[in-house]
Amino acid sequence: MKALITGASSGIGRDMARVLSKKGYDLVLVARDHKKLEEVKKELEKDKVKVEIIEMDLSKEKNCIEIHNRVKDIDILINNAGFGDCGIFTKTNLEKEITMIKTNITAYHILTKLYLIDMKEKNSGKILNVASIAGFMPGPLMATYYATKAYIVRLSESIREELKKEKSEVQISILCPGPVKTNFNQVANVKFHMREANSQKVANYAIKKMQKGKFYIVPGMDVKLAKLGAKITPSFLISKITYRIQKRKLIR
């Protein structure tokens, strides 16, 4: 059994690698930080599994294609690489946002498509796309990030229906957490004023639910209620609520 995880050098990606190594999966870990990847590899090899690390910037399309060319016959694909940013849309950095779109959307799209083709041919495999509760609502002051996660939610929902109609054994799932205690805050330039979930607990929950075939994986009752609220509340009202929440996050 083999799993490929992007964004695997820290946070949820690293912690999901820990869970899968305990279950006996060989791992291919992808991230930009070679030193951190080496540290994770050294830790996980204690579980007597094979760990391959690939230092790669997935904001470049050719690198995503290279990953697929290099790594074959995987049983699980976890698309986890990504980051956010916070601020008024006209004042946030355009270059950072374009890189965000390429990392949060384009990389997911390419890897999901290429590995899904392989999995459908053998009629087995699992794909877990790490989205966010942000994918179910508008997100003023984090407009680009919320939009990227909405893309992942809708793409995955659509693929799920196609797989159902084809009676395929391939499974796709989306992980939609709320705030998680990782280095996301520093990159996104935010400070959360609400409870942050433990990354390892989220990872354990995600792998458990994915292996049971759950599509929407939403850790925490408060996040489940937020998802329900986003579904039944008009978008204009959600926008007002979200704006107030995001404004409190901004690091001044």
Catalytic annotation, residues: 145
Q: How far apart, in whole angstroms, are the C-alpha atoms of residue 73 and residue 231?
A: 38
What is the C-alpha to C-alpha distance for residues 120 and 164, in angstroms, rounded to an integer? 12
Measure the CA–CA gap between 227 and 136, rounded to whole angstroms.
Answer: 7
Using DSSP, state whether 128 is helix, strand or coil. Answer: strand
φ/ψ of residue 211, rounded to 5:
-70, -20
CA distances to 31, 161, 191, 207 from 59, rounded to whole Å, are: 11, 28, 25, 25
Identify the H or E element spanning 175. strand 171-175
